Structure formats: C-alpha cells, structure tokens
Amino acid sequence: MRVGARVTMVSDTQLDRDRVRGVMASERGSERKRIPGALFRNCKIEVRPHRAWLLLAHAGLMVDITHYLNDCKLILVSNREPYEHMRGPGGIEIKQPAGGLVTALDPTMRRTHGTWVAWGSGTADRDVSDETGRVAVPPGEECYTVRRVWLDDADINGYYHGFSNRALWPLCHMLIQHFEFRTEYWERYRTVNLRFAHAVADEAERCTGRAMAWIQDYHFALASEFLRAMRPSLFIHQFWHIPFPPADILRLLPAGTHEAVLRGMLGNDLVEFQIDRYAVNFLDCVDKFVAEARVDHVHQTITVRDRVVHVGAFPISIDVERFEAMAASDDSRARVATLRGRYAKGTRQLGVCVDRIDYTKGIPERIRALETMWTESPEMRERFTFIFVCTPSRTDLPAYNALERDVTQSVMSINERFGSPEWTPIVLINENVDSDLLAAVYRAADLCIVSSLQDGMNLVAKEFVACQVDERGVLILSRFTGSAEEIDGALLMNPFNVDGFVAAIAAGLEMSPEERKRRMHRMRRQLHNSTIFDWLDSILARSTEIMGTPPQLHAVV
C-alpha cells in the first residue's frame, strides 16, 4: 500500500465507514479473483430455438456451443491463462482472472474438453504442469487442459511490454505519441508467436479428430501464419479485441514489419473485429500493403494464393444477466443506499467512471472537462460528486506510471480547489474492486462517463447499462468507442472537445427522469439481445459455416 497522496478513497471495506482523507491505496496484486469453489456445479440444461444450448448455472446463463464443434477440438490461444497457480503462505493457490472472456469461455472449454494455450505466468505454474507445460483444470474437475508456454524476462520485455504494448497497442489506438518500435521487441514478438504456434500445432497433432484454433488479440498477429505453415488444413480464426488502424497509421511500423503483421493475420480463415470500421481498415491495409492479396470489399474476403480469408464484425459484450443479478441483489441495494446517502444527498447527483489507468481511456481529458465545468460555471459545484474507480494497469511501463501519478495529482488539486467540508468533488477508488461492489456503484449512479480516446468496444458502458435496474442513469459515451456504434440511447461526445464534453455532462445532469428512463430502457433492451453468449454463438456459427459443417443440435444430458 502506498500512503501519502492526499485524495479521498473509498473501498469495499470502507463503504460503511466515514470518508477517509489523506490516503490512497493500490492493491496491485488483486487483479485476479479466487475461484468460487462450486461455481459451475448443479448445472441444469434448457433448449432455446435458433440459439445455442444454454447451461443454467447459478453463475448465470452460459451458452453451450458443443453443437457447433461436434467432434472438433477447440484450441484456444490467449496471452493470459484462465487459471494461474500461485505460491501462497498456505501452499499453492489457484486464481482465475476476472473478466468476460474467461466467464464466457471457461464453461465452453469444460464441456468441449478443449485445450487453452497461454503464457504460464503463475509463480507455481511450473510446479504443477508436466514437461510439456500441460495441466488439467479446473481443480477438482479436470475437464480441460491448459497448455502453458514459458516466457523468460527477455521474452516478456520484448514480446509483451515491448512490441505488444509499446508498439501495437498505441498504434492500433492511433495514439502515435506513445508508439515506440525497437528491433529487439519485434524479434522477441516473432519468437514468442512462433513458440505459441508450435504449442498449438502440437495440441492439434495430439487430437485424433478435427481441431479448430481460436486465437485472441493483438499479442499474436504472427501466430496464425506460423501455424498455417505447420498445419495447413487446420481451421484458424482470430478475434482482435482492439481497434485496427487505417493504413497511414499502420505504416508507421518500419517497412517490412507492417506487411509482416498483415501477412501474419492472413494465416487465419476468419479474422474477427469488434465493429465494421476496423474490419474495413484491415481490408484497406491488406489492399495497400500485401501485393499478392486480392481484396473483395463487398463480401469482406481476401484471396491469398489459393486460400480465402474471411473478415467480419462481431461486437463483444458482457454476461448481462450476471451483472443485472448482482445489481439487483439485497447487498447491492444496501450499498446503493450507503453510497447515495454519502455522496448524493438531496438533489446532488452521483457520477461514476471505471477504467484501467490507460492513456487510451481519456482520463486526463475527463478531469479537464470537470475542472473546466467547475471553473467556468461555479453554480455547477456541489451539484454532483464523481466516483472514479481506476485500477492501475501495466505498471511496468513508464507511460502508465506517469499517467497514474498525473491522475492522482489532478484529482488532489481539484478536490483542494473546489471541495468544501460538505463536498468532495472527486472520490478516487484507486484499486481493482470486486464485481459485486462495481455493480452497486453502477446502479447507484445518475451518470456514467466513458471518455476513451479510442476503444475497441468498451465493456464498462455495457456493464453500466446492465446494472441500471432502476433506469435512472445517463450514459455519456465517447464517439470513439466500439460501443458508441452499437448502443442507441447514450449521449455521445468527443473527449478531445472540452466544451462539447462539458455540454454533454451538463445535458446529462439536466435530463428529465422520463427521458433518462426512456433512453436507458431502450439500451437495456438492446443489450439483452446482444450478450457475450450471443457473441460467442455468432462467431462459432460463422466459423462452422466457413468450415462447411452445419451445427447439429443434440440433447445434452
């Protein structure tokens, strides 16, 4: 815990205590949650026409996509692993990262007995894995395999902190002032991608029937091409979670490198993006930089030599019913009362924002808008309190540390300048909070601001909508998020335009209860038709269509 910064903090344990001044905590190790023991036991099964099978577990509704896979083994590839073995005081502990991807894919992996290939990042991972890095999970049930790929410090620096996070991440978000290319990063990225491709090829080799590899994200732009060379007939597809930039930005990568990234991605049979704009950028880049590729912009396909690569938009979402249930619980209701009693007494409103501290999320821009509003319109002071739930992220990179310091200092100075004994303008929760508390904060809020400068999708916007069970909140959403192209009912704004940003906050605060309800109701209805399980379903449906194997519905007992 770091002590010293003069800001106001509230955390789960402090909710029921008085406000604490002068302390800020940061629990860096807490980004992962422990596995709830019997989470997936006692599953009951139900059929839904035109959609996949659903597993009703007490964790919420989960889609079962086994009918798409039939006898086809799913080999999933991601940088982070679904289970991490850690050395703890009482022996080896198992942790599971919080997040939508694991929530959606873990049940699928359990039922299909697939293999999840990922970086073995846990301190005790090697102790429990066999000589090829394989371990059966989840503990006590052992129904699928995690295949760990080992990375040393130089690999992590070059592949992960280097090319992935200092080069591709800023470039794809078009924030080129943060772009940093080193040959060493690139070489490590290639080596690690090759190592992952070998691990996947070996897993495909081990299975007697067909296999499908599904690669996640920008950490593996080259893996598909390597894998294609090793296993030409394997069905390979990739979901790209972040934006894909236009050609003029991609070519900031040195000559040879940007073409290599595109050729790498063309190793896939299907490349999935969050929204159509990113898919279009990818097609344009391939058109410009890959001489041997023929691009069909209408059908969104690319022919390279004798192969056809399909491209499409598949917007990711959240486990809507899980968030809704958390927000509607008795615990949540009690927390909402506490939060509103403390921060939104009388006519005062409560705003919230939730982010990893990342320069793509527009946090300084948001602080600047609030500061401008409170400076230029003193009558807006005391009208609302803002809760910032900001979790430190990628703290090994200097740009992220600098941003965290900057955010803390700006919040302190705003609180000192505008605050009063009765009012703290910004309450900073500088830690990773558990999802139950998050759901209560979302429910309690009258206003949620998502101000990303660029964002592939942004799940916070969707979580806020899911948790607004009272339908009283307004969503102020950056135009530059994937969510803005999906959600109809938010107040859209441009975070670079401070006056427009201030006007959007003012409009949100002034909006009538009827108008808020109308918009929120519409957004909630949309969200229910587009959950993370619909996302999974549509990707697998498209994959099997391309593979030429229509799904077979069969009873699951």
Q: Does 10 help bind ligand ADQ (rule: CB under 6 A)?
A: no
* Nearest distance in Å: CB 18, ligand ADQ: 22
Q: Does 397 help bind ligand ADQ (rule: CB under 6 A)?
A: no
Site for ligand ADQ in 425-444 (CB under 6 A): 432-433, 438
- Residue of the chain from 457, 466, 475, 484 that contacts ligand ADQ (CB under 6 A): 457
Q: Does 80 help bind ligand ADQ (rule: CB under 6 A)?
A: no
Quick check: helix, strand or coil at residue 298? Answer: coil
278 or 374, CB closer to ligand ADQ? 278
CA–CA separation, 391 vs 506, rounded Å? 27
Quick check: helix, strand or coil at residue 271? Answer: strand
62 or 295, CB closer to ligand ADQ? 62
Q: Which backbone phi and psi does 539 adopt, to 5 degrees? A: -70, -45
Site for ligand ADQ in 18-77 (CB under 6 A): none
* Nearest distance in Å: CB 156, ligand ADQ: 19
For residue 90, what is the DSSP state? T
Helix, strand, coil percentages (3-state) for the chain, rounded to 5, are: 45, 20, 35
Q: Does 356 help bind ligand ADQ (rule: CB under 6 A)?
A: yes
* Nearest distance in Å: CB 256, ligand ADQ: 27
CB 221 within 8 A of CB 172: no
Q: Does 110 help bind ligand ADQ (rule: CB under 6 A)?
A: no
CA–CA separation, 462 vs 449, rounded Å? 12
CB 265 within 8 A of CB 532: no
Q: Does 534 help bind ligand ADQ (rule: CB under 6 A)?
A: no
Q: Does 479 help bind ligand ADQ (rule: CB under 6 A)?
A: no
CA atoms within 13 A on the CB side of 3: 2
CB 81 within 8 A of CB 138: no
Helix (H) or strand (E) holding 250: helix 247-250
Site for ligand ADQ in 240-259 (CB under 6 A): 241-242
CB 214 within 8 A of CB 239: yes
CA–CA separation, 25 vs 408, rounded Å? 11
Task: List the beta bridge partners of residue 301.
Answer: 296, 310
Q: Does 350 help bind ligand ADQ (rule: CB under 6 A)?
A: no
Q: Does 463 help bind ligand ADQ (rule: CB under 6 A)?
A: yes
* Nearest distance in Å: CB 81, ligand ADQ: 17
217 or 446, CB closer to ligand ADQ? 217
- Residue of the chain from 389, 444, 447, 493 that contacts ligand ADQ (CB under 6 A): 389
Where does this chain bind ligand ADQ (CB under 6 A)? 241-242, 316, 354-356, 389-391, 432-433, 438, 455-460, 463
